[in-house]
């Protein structure tokens, strides 16, 4: 019996997540410039992929980000981080997701 790819996603996610370490925003801020850019690109890719798998349609956030350069997305995220130092101890990926949702709501 073959499991459908969508049914395997939670299993794959758990295996990967158990081996990966999430970084806080404080740890993100300590990364070098190129590392921060790579992290943002990877995190955005992960957010969009997760939404695509969950809904099986183009994520709303991806529609909002069309035309933006990765350095712009990084700058938007870092501006939000600097404005909210009380949140630096939270996972950076959660804050990136929140930042993108807020940005896209305003951009509509």
Residue 96, both tokens: 């990136």
Whole-structure pTM value: 0.77
Q: What is the pLDDT of residue 36?
A: 95
> Is the residue at 84 inside a domain?
yes
> Is the residue at 48 inside a domain?
yes
> Is the residue at 44 inside a domain?
yes
Top-confidence residue, 107 or 83: 83
Tell me the three-class secondary structure of the chain, residue by residue: CCCCHHHHHHHHHHHHHHHCCCCEHHHHHHCCHHHHHHHHHHHHHHHHHHHHHHHCCCCHHHHHHCCCCHHHHHHHHHHHHHHCHHHCCCEHHHHHHHHHHHHHHHHC
Residue 107 predicted with pLDDT over 70: yes
> Is the residue at 9 inside a domain?
no
Q: What is the pLDDT of residues 25-82, one digit of tens each?
A: 999 999 999 999 999 999 999 999 888 888 888 888 889 999 999 999 999 999 999 9
> Is the residue at 22 inside a domain?
no
> Is the residue at 66 inside a domain?
yes
Q: What is the pLDDT of residue 6?
A: 53
Its domain, for residue 81, covers 30-107
> Is the residue at 10 inside a domain?
no
> Is the residue at 15 inside a domain?
no
Domain count for the chain: 1
Least confident of 11-15, 57-61, 77-81, 96-100: 11-15
């Amino acid at each position: 019996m073959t499991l459908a790819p969508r049914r395997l996603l939670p299993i794959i996610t758990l295996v990967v997540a158990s081996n990966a370490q999430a970084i806080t925003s404080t740890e993100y801020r300590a990364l070098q410039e190129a590392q921060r850019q790579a992290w943002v690109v990877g995190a955005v890719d992960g957010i969009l992929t997760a939404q695509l798998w969950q809904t099986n349609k183009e994520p709303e956030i991806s529609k909002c980000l069309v035309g933006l350069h990765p350095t712009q997305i990084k700058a938007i995220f870092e501006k939000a981080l600097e404005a909210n130092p009380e949140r630096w101890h939270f996972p950076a990926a959660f804050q990136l997701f929140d930042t993108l949702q807020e940005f896209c709501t305003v951009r509509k």
